[in-house]
Chain A
Amino acid sequence: MAINIPQTTVNFTVKGTEIRMVLQGHLDCIHLGSVWRQTFKFLDKNSAENVVIDASDVVYCDGSGATLFAKVREKVKGNMQVVGLKKEFLPLVDMFELETLAPLPQKSKVSIIEEIGRATHSILKDLREIITFTGELLVAIFWAMKNRRQVPWGDTWINAESAGVNALPIICLIGFLLGLIMAFQSAVPMKQFGAEIFVADLIGLSMLKELGPLLTAIVLAGRSGSAFAAELGTMKVNEEINALVTMGLDPVRYLAVTRVIASVMMTPILSCFCCLFALMGGAIVILSLGYPLVIYMDRIAQAVTITAFLAGVVKSVAFAILVAGVGCLRGLQTGTGAKAVGQSTTSAVVSAIVLVAVADAIFSVVLFALGI
């Protein structure tokens, strides 16, 4: 259907204190734009006591057109008449009265001091919530160990699969490449001293004690911490968490514990795989430098002690608790709406990485003091 829609136009004539507006065409939201601009530009420039709108050539008018009439009437404080409008559109002229609209709230200005205060308060509040949640989580884990039958193991295994098994390829790849890169980068300067075989010590110790657990924790934060936050956050938004609470189920016990247990089971294993593949990466460099594999293995066996290995395992368990725990906490803290879920997810990853870094620093000091 091709209809010729006449241009929507407005013309003004000033007669003493009266402005006469001649409107033509379609007064709907699609065609109203330029008419609206011209009208208020003109009314701003020319003050008038009285406006007469000649609408005899208005073909169509809808709610947006009605808003135009209302706005003009507000502008000239009520001294507006509409003439010639088709009978069917007449009710629209008085449909809206802008004076009766509820006023929009003024945006309040916030001083810097107030903002600093608010920020500090929210950081302290967050810290308190993390500490409370850690307590709740520990209690829940002890409860789970005592009441093993009541733990939803099905969920735990599913989470173990998604947080652990499915992360294996990326962990192995990153470990392998990291080993390769470290070996390559260190072999060149060490060669100057004829010490390139000590690359084995470097990779063995740094991966097992430090980088393996750290890297795994960061991947866990990106893959699973965020997923936990998004899952629990969506449940919170959909009031599923409230449903659990009213059924008498504690969300920490029912949702967080399974995820934390799953992560604690899988992270040390992932970390071991990471180290293993890093050593393989190192082996390739060493082989390419002309050393036999036996010597490389021998160096590693000498450099890496069982305590160093166990220290790495303990670290990755601690990191797993932090990452999974804060992921669940952020999920449970989610506000309302889709945006809130996104915020929780981001905040889960950021908090997890910060917590892991802090914990790692503490571990370094403790391990140093213990002489490991």
Chain B
Amino acid sequence: MEPIIKVKNLTAKYEGHMVLDSLDFEIHRGEVFVILGGSGCGKSTLLKHLIGLYAPFSGSIHIDGDDIVTASQHERKKILRKIGVMYQSGALFGSMTLLQNVQMPLKLFTDLPPDAIETIARCKLKLVSLDAFAHHFPAEISGGMQKRAAIARAMALDPQVLFLDEPSAGLDPITSSELDELILQLAESLKITFVIVTHELPSIYTIASRVIMLDKRVKKIVAVGSPHELRDTSEDPWVRKFFKRGKDE
């Protein structure tokens, strides 16, 4: 099957300062793909390039066959409809209730009648167990709930790919493992492809079908594979160390 995301030769720079150096990788349909790496190595940067928020210095990014880098405004809108994003900080609109937050993309992109939009939005909130908080404002709920609400909003249009930037950072272990279950359940039932940035080892072992690992020093991918594979068989001592939680062998 054709990969849903194809990245070729991607180089990213901030004002001349290189962060990512000619990356090549593919993400397959239906997998839970995890981007790993130390803090500040460019994971969020990579994610923002994948969703077309930043234009790469060079290289190409294809989502479902369409190049998001060279796409026209109109084509880009069509591509963006296929993806949903949860930003590192949640980025819920503070002046709207959770229900309104989830309804917004539906109102913008579809011609559904209002009662359909409301029902769909409530179902999305139900998926993340927040249906009882539909009329709360983001500031009135906890950080973990905000992240789940942000996932609900990202899923409003039933995207084929969901990008999550550090979904479990700052969550307690129980909430975090509930989130993992949610991700697996959505991947299973709705066949969503997940691209997830995270540091949480337990969560990586549970959810990841495949992992790529970025290294700040070389600005490249230093490892690709399933987490167990990388832990046991990687030739790079740094990678093995990462998967053994920093313990030297």
Kindly state the separation between the CA atoms of A70 and B116 in the bound complex, as whole angstroms: 11
Chain A residues with CB under 8 Å of B134's CB are 102, 104
B28 is an interface residue with CB less than 8 A from chain A: no
A67 is an interface residue with CB less than 8 A from chain B: yes
Kindly state the separation between the CA atoms of A337 and B191 in the bound complex, as whole angstroms: 35
Contact mask B94-108 → A, CB, 8 Å, 1/0?
Answer: 110001000000100
Query: What is the distance, in angstroms, from B24's C-beta to the closest C-beta of chain A?
Result: 22
Kindly state the separation between the CA atoms of A336 and B94 in the bound complex, as whole angstroms: 8
Query: What is the distance, in angstroms, from B109's C-beta to the closest C-beta of chain A?
Result: 7
The residues in B between 122 and 138 inclusive whose CB is less than 8 angstroms from any CB of A are 122-124, 126-127, 131-132, 134-135, 137-138
Asked if A1 contacts B94 (CB within 8 A), the reply is no
> Which residue in B127, B139, B190 is a CB contact (below 8 Å) of A62?
B190
Query: What is the distance, in angstroms, from A216's C-beta to the closest C-beta of chain B?
Result: 34
Asked if A1 contacts B65 (CB within 8 A), the reply is yes
Asked if B135 contacts A29 (CB within 8 A), the reply is no
Interface size class on chain B is 35 or more
Kindly state the separation between the CA atoms of A369 and B138 in the bound complex, as whole angstroms: 55
Of A63, A70, A71, A105, chain B has the most CB atoms within 10 Å of the CB of A63
| Interface residue stretch chosen among A92-100, A112-120, A265-273 | A92-100
Kindly state the separation between the CA atoms of A102 and B191 in the bound complex, as whole angstroms: 26
> Which residue in B94, B99, B110, B135 is a CB contact (below 8 Å) of A33?
B110
A34 is an interface residue with CB less than 8 A from chain B: yes
Q: How many residues of A contact B (CB 8 A)?
A: 35
Query: What is the distance, in angstroms, from A92's C-beta to the closest C-beta of chain B?
Result: 7
Contact mask A45-79 → B, CB, 8 Å, 1/0?
Answer: 00000000000000000111011101100000000
A29-B157 CB under 8 A given contacts A92-B189, A337-B94? yes
Query: What is the distance, in angstroms, from B122's C-beta to the closest C-beta of chain A?
Result: 5
Kindly state the separation between the CA atoms of A339 and B95 in the bound complex, as whole angstroms: 6
The residues in B between 54 and 75 inclusive whose CB is less than 8 angstroms from any CB of A are 65-66
> Which residue in A34, A101, A335 is a CB contact (below 8 Å) of B122?
A101
Kindly state the separation between the CA atoms of A98 and B138 in the bound complex, as whole angstroms: 24
Q: Can you name the residue of chain B whose Cβ is closest to the Cβ of A342?
A: B95
> Which residue in B94, B116, B126, B137 is a CB contact (below 8 Å) of A36?
B116
Asked if A67 contacts B123 (CB within 8 A), the reply is yes
Asked if A101 contacts B158 (CB within 8 A), the reply is no
A63-B116 CB under 8 A given contacts A29-B106, A92-B189? no
Chain B residues with CB under 8 Å of A32's CB are 110, 112, 116
Asked if B112 contacts A336 (CB within 8 A), the reply is no
Asked if B122 contacts A64 (CB within 8 A), the reply is no
Query: What is the distance, in angstroms, from A129's C-beta to the closest C-beta of chain B?
Result: 21
A102-B131 CB under 8 A given contacts A33-B111, A67-B120, A336-B94? yes
Chain A residues with CB under 8 Å of B155's CB are 63
A37 is an interface residue with CB less than 8 A from chain B: yes
Asked if B124 contacts A63 (CB within 8 A), the reply is yes
Kindly state the separation between the CA atoms of A306 and B10 in the bound complex, as whole angstroms: 73
A30-B94 CB under 8 A given contacts A67-B116, A105-B135? no
A91-B189 CB under 8 A given contacts A29-B112, A37-B113, A64-B120? yes
Asked if B106 contacts A67 (CB within 8 A), the reply is no
Contact mask B130-162 → A, CB, 8 Å, 1/0?
Answer: 011011011110000000000000011110000
Q: Can you name the residue of chain A whose Cβ is closest to the Cβ of B65?
A: A1
A66-B123 CB under 8 A given contacts A29-B112, A33-B113? yes
Chain A residues with CB under 8 Å of B206's CB are none
Chain A residues with CB under 8 Å of B65's CB are 1
Chain A residues with CB under 8 Å of B116's CB are 32-33, 36, 67-68, 71
Contact mask A315-344 → B, CB, 8 Å, 1/0?
Answer: 000000000000000000001111110000
> Which residue in B131, B139, B158 is a CB contact (below 8 Å) of A28?
B158
A88 is an interface residue with CB less than 8 A from chain B: yes
Query: What is the distance, in angstroms, from B8's C-beta to the closest C-beta of chain A?
Result: 18
Asked if B138 contacts A71 (CB within 8 A), the reply is no
The residues in B between 36 and 92 inclusive whose CB is less than 8 angstroms from any CB of A are 65-66, 81
Contact mask B206-217 → A, CB, 8 Å, 1/0?
Answer: 000000000000
Q: Can you name the residue of chain A whose Cβ is closest to the Cβ of B105?
A: A29
Kindly state the separation between the CA atoms of A34 and B110 in the bound complex, as whole angstroms: 10
Asked if B139 contacts A67 (CB within 8 A), the reply is no
Asked if B110 contacts A30 (CB within 8 A), the reply is yes
Asked if B189 contacts A64 (CB within 8 A), the reply is no
Chain A residues with CB under 8 Å of B191's CB are 88
Kindly state the separation between the CA atoms of A28 and B157 in the bound complex, as whole angstroms: 8
Chain B residues with CB under 8 Å of A71's CB are 116, 119
Kindly state the separation between the CA atoms of A36 and B119 in the bound complex, as whole angstroms: 12
Asked if B119 contacts A67 (CB within 8 A), the reply is yes
Q: Can you name the residue of chain B whose Cβ is closest to the Cβ of A341?
A: B94
The residues in B between 166 and 194 inclusive whose CB is less than 8 angstroms from any CB of A are 189-191
> Which residue in A29, A67, A100 is a CB contact (below 8 Å) of B110?
A29
A337-B138 CB under 8 A given contacts A29-B120, A36-B116, A67-B120? yes
A62-B111 CB under 8 A given contacts A36-B116, A337-B95? no
Chain B residues with CB under 8 Å of A340's CB are 94
Kindly state the separation between the CA atoms of A102 and B135 in the bound complex, as whole angstroms: 11
Kindly state the separation between the CA atoms of A102 and B81 in the bound complex, as whole angstroms: 28
Q: Can you name the residue of chain A whose Cβ is closest to the Cβ of B118?
A: A104
Asked if B119 contacts A98 (CB within 8 A), the reply is yes
Asked if A36 contacts B112 (CB within 8 A), the reply is yes
Asked if A63 contacts B120 (CB within 8 A), the reply is yes
5 contacts between A and B (CB under 8 A): A1-B66, A29-B157, A335-B139, A337-B94, A337-B139
Top 3 closest pairs, chain A to chain B, by CB: A337-B94, A336-B139, A102-B132
Instruction: List 4 other contacts, CB 8 Å, given A32-B112, A62-B190, A101-B122.
Output: A30-B109, A36-B113, A62-B158, A64-B120
